[in-house]
Structures are given as C-alpha cells and as structure tokens.
Structure 1
Amino acid sequence: MDPPFDEIYKTLLCKQVTNTEKPHEKSEPLSFSITAVEEVELPVIDLSRLIDNEDEEEREKCKEEIAKASREWGFFQVINHGISMEVLQRMRQEQVRVFRQPFDKKKMSEKFSVGSYRWGTPTATCLRQLSWSEAFHVPMTDISPDNNDFTSLSSTMEEFASESESLAQRLAEVLAEKLGRKSNIFKENCGRKTCYLRMNRYPPCPNPSEVYGLMPHTDSDFLTILYQDQVGGLQLIKDCKWIAVKPNPLALIINIGDLFQAWSNDVYKSVEHRVMTNPTVERFSTAYFFCPSHDAVIDCSGDSPIYRSFTFRHFRQQVQDDVQKLGFKVGLPHFLL
C-alpha cells in the first residue's frame, strides 16, 4: 500500500545514516525540532453569524474577524461553515478507501487524469526537500457528473468541492469588501473548471525528526479550505517561529494563498506552513484550492503596488521552473516591483 520511499530515496536516507556516524559531516538538521514547537489553537470564527444572522452589527464583527485573522495569521478556523458533517465524513471514508489500494493500482489509477497521483519529491536532492506523503491532486474537471465513471468517490468529491466553492466565494467576497475592492475577479475567474481538490495521506515515517510529511511552502492560490483528521502535524510560522496547529474536530482550516497576498498588496498574508511526520500513525487531510483561470490577471490594490501584475499561468510556470532548478518554490518575490 505505501509508496516505496525506502527504495527510491535509499541514497538520501543512507547519506543521513552515514552523516550520523560521522559528526563532522552530519547534514544540517531541520530548522526547528518537532519537540520544540508550541501547540496553539488558531482563531476560531463562527460563520453562522455571517450566514444566518440578520443583525448587521454582528455580521460586520464576523467580517472583521475574518479580515483580522487573514492579516495577522494568514490562517484561521471556521465552524458552522455550511458544509455538513455527513459530507465531510463520507469524504474521509472514500479517501481512506482509495489510499488503501495497492501502490501499483494507485499509480496507474484511471479515475483521474495522468499525473494526479503524486508521492514523495521527485526533485529532492537532500532529506530537507523530501516529503513523506502521497496525494491525489485532482482538477475539478476530472470529477464532472458528465464523466462515465462517476463513482461514489467521484460523487462525494464533487459534493465536497461544490460546498467548498460556495464557502470560498463567500470568504473571498468578505476579504475583498474589507479591502474596499470589488470581488468580480472571484465570480468571473474562480469556478468549477479552475479549482483543485487534493486528498493527502501521510504514512508513518521511521525518521520523523529528519523528514517532512510536506516540506515548508506557501499555497499558490487565493484561498485553501482544509479538512484534516485529529492526528495533528500541521505547523505554520507566526512571529518568526513555527507553531503546531491544534486539531479542532468541528472546524475547517482556511489559509490565505499567494494570489490573495499579491491582490491585497500584502495586507493579507500567505504564510509558510509544513506537515511533520508521525512515527506510528498515518494522517489524512483533504484540501480545496480556490484558483482562478490561467489567464486571470492578478494586480495589486492601492496607490503604491508592491507587485507587478501577472497572470496565474505565469505564476504557476515560475513555480514549476524554480522547483526544477532549485528544488523549492520561490513564489511572490519573483514578482516584486
């Protein structure tokens, strides 16, 4: 069932063993030890105050909380978000089932387009660049009800994505309003054909202090909606240090992506985050990426823009080029004026 990490990354793993035996050649450890990270609870925002409340003052307070968390944290949690627990539970069950298949079957899966199944880090040249995880990164066009093979997995993914899209549009409109900008870009450019759904599995790792579950990164979208289990492992940077996110069984996690940081002229923060491995327990999560069309133009707000305008296509290509050449994503610094 598990991808052949030990076999494919044997050289990197052996290099770590060799360096451990020779202290003077020991490779640089991870930036922050997993044992030294403080666990905190992200800001929790009750969206029923926004969705079902006719009290305008209370609605405005909720909007301000969303904007404040996006400015100060780049991450927050939402409860009473409009996505039913029944849909979330079915999504988890279907996800576990698909990952329980033999590795060769997952690798050759015909359910989704070529390249949707991913594992490890093909470009890794050292352990710091290796992600001990597997995923199905699926374009929404792959799970259209019009497809012939519309299975229970596909129908559940479609329902989860449909409800996530509504939530993402609502949050994006709030954040745009708090910037004093029109939200047309989201309605006109972000929809069923442009967004992605990613199912993640993090297998138990024999070297949890040496290998990431998912290496540090920022998301290349406007917003990400994350449904995770209770195992824990998600960490993010706050006040120049890594903090561990305490799982909340009732909440979805929302984080700002690079496109929203650029579009807001750095008002909202796309924060670096990572996933740590666990030596004994596997972890599951499902992410919905709120992305625009490839030709959508991202332009800064305000009189003194920090970034030059760019298309989502250009941004994605730059990220891919950096990963191929450098082994990691550079992101927004490429587009600074």
Structure 2
Amino acid sequence: MIDGTRKFHEQDVEVKKEYYSSDPTARRVRYDSNLHVYKSKGKTANWKDSLIISGIVSGHNEPEVCRKTSLEYINHVIKLEDTLLGLLSEALGLNPNHLKATECDKGKTFSFNYYLACQQAELTLGKHTDPVFLSIVLQDQNGGLQVMCDNQWADVTPIEHALVVNIGDLLQILSNDKFVSAIHRVVAKNVGPR
C-alpha cells in the first residue's frame, strides 16, 4: 500500500487535480494538498498531502494508479477492524458482536498520507487525539509517529508490514474511559517524501 500511495502522490499535479477538494463532504474519493500550509500564517498546519476514500469502496472511483492496492488494503483493514471490535467488546464484558451492532464502524474513512520534507517542523500539527473510534496506521520505514507514554514521547518504531492501532475519542467515550484515546503526533522531518 505504501508503494500505491507514493504512485498516486508522485503523479503530475494535473492528474491529481481531478480528485482535488479541501471540502470533506464534496466527494467520496478526494485529494487534499498541504497548500493550506501557506495560508496558515504562522498557525499550526498539517504538512501532508492525502488521498482520502470515504464510505463504501466501489472499485470504480478510486484512482487507477493505486486502485488495486488500495482496495486490497481497505478490505484487509475492514476484516481487522471487525476482529478488533469483537475483542474490544469482549474486553468490556459484552457480547462479541456488541460494538459491531452499534454501527460504530459505519463511517469509515481511509486516508493515504504523503509527507514531503518539512522546512518548518515547528508549524506542523502537534500532539492530538483522533476524533474517531479506531485509527489503524501503516507507517513507512522512515517513521515519525510518537505516542505519549508516562508523560513522555515514545517513538513508535516502524516494523515492516505491521499496523499500529490507536484508540480514538469515540471509543473512549463509548467505553466510559476504560479505553483511553491515544495522544500522539507525527514528528515532521526535513527528509522526504515519506
């Protein structure tokens, strides 16, 4: 999937323009660029480009250059999510199908991010939690993901083909704080792309 993400993002801007929108409600498959960094005037910004696929995957609207790999990846992540929802339900002392039955996984969004070398790392998005149920992350070997652990930042060392699962704000709320949303950040690097 990392290769497919790079293939999409390294295409000519005219090709990617077909998918461009900064409005998350505008289209199901969209490309958003870090161009807003230049409009932020010293404020925190995301230093990344993203190919975002929301909702049900059709196999028709996704960019051809990464369609096959993105669809395969999405299908595997959905299966993993189903397994995780069952395990999380059991950990809460509930029926294994409980979380799935609540449809907490209904609004799926897949974001394939591409980070360019960052000249102003201090202006990138800092620590945060994700306003979702779960975030499932595939890192490249350059890393940069850190989590807050015992009030210190800990590097999440990339392991090839391994996924990182972050608890999101919605799961924390639904579980009455039995699961805590992961405070994390992606440390910007003056290397890229990644």
Structure 2 residue 141 is the aligned partner of structure 1 residue 230: yes
Task: Give the superposition deviation at 1:174.
Answer: 0.9
Task: Give the superposition deviation at 1:203.
Answer: 0.1
Q: Quick one: which of 159, 174, 178 aligns to 1:263?
A: 174
The structure with more helix, counted as a fraction of residues: 1
C-alpha distance in 2 between matches for 1:148 and 1:233: 31
Q: Which residue is 1:211 aligned to? A: 123
Task: Give the superposition deviation at 1:140.
Answer: 3.6
Native 8 Å contact 1:233 1:277 kept in 2: yes
SS at match of 1:131: coil
Q: Which residue is 1:93 aligned to? A: 3
SS at match of 2:142: coil
Residues 109-145 of structure 1 deviation map (CA, whole Å, 9 limit, x = unaligned):
28x937822233849745451121110121143x313
Q: Which residue is 2:81 aligned to? A: 168
Q: Which residue is 1:119 aligned to? A: 33
Q: TM-score, normalised by structure 1?
A: 0.50
Q: State the one-letter code of the partner of 1:198.
A: S
Q: Detail structure 1 runs of 4+ shifted over 6 Å in the superposition.
A: none
Q: Which residue is 2:103 aligned to? A: 189
Structure 2 residue 1 is the aligned partner of structure 1 residue 103: no
In the alignment, structure 1 segments of 5+ residues that lack a partner are 1-90, 284-337
Q: Which residue is 1:332 aligned to? A: none
Q: Which residue is 1:158 aligned to? A: 71
SS at match of 1:137: strand
Native 8 Å contact 1:222 1:256 kept in 2: yes
Task: Give the superposition deviation at 1:97.
Answer: 0.8
C-alpha distance in 1 between matches for 2:58 and 2:104: 16
Native 8 Å contact 2:133 2:169 kept in 1: yes
Native 8 Å contact 2:28 2:53 kept in 1: no
Q: Which residue is 1:129 aligned to? A: 44
Max radius of gyration: which structure?
Answer: 1
Task: Give the superposition deviation at 1:250.
Answer: 4.2
C-alpha distance in 2 between matches for 1:204 and 1:236: 21
Q: Which residue is 2:152 aligned to? A: 241
In the alignment, structure 2 segments of 5+ residues that lack a partner are 21-25
Structure 2 residue 87 is the aligned partner of structure 1 residue 177: no
Q: Which residue is 2:53 aligned to? A: 138
Q: Which residue is 1:309 aligned to? A: none
Give the aligned length.
187
Q: TM-score, normalised by structure 2?
A: 0.82
CA-based RMSD of the aligned residues comes to: 2.7
C-alpha distance in 1 between matches for 2:104 and 2:28: 23
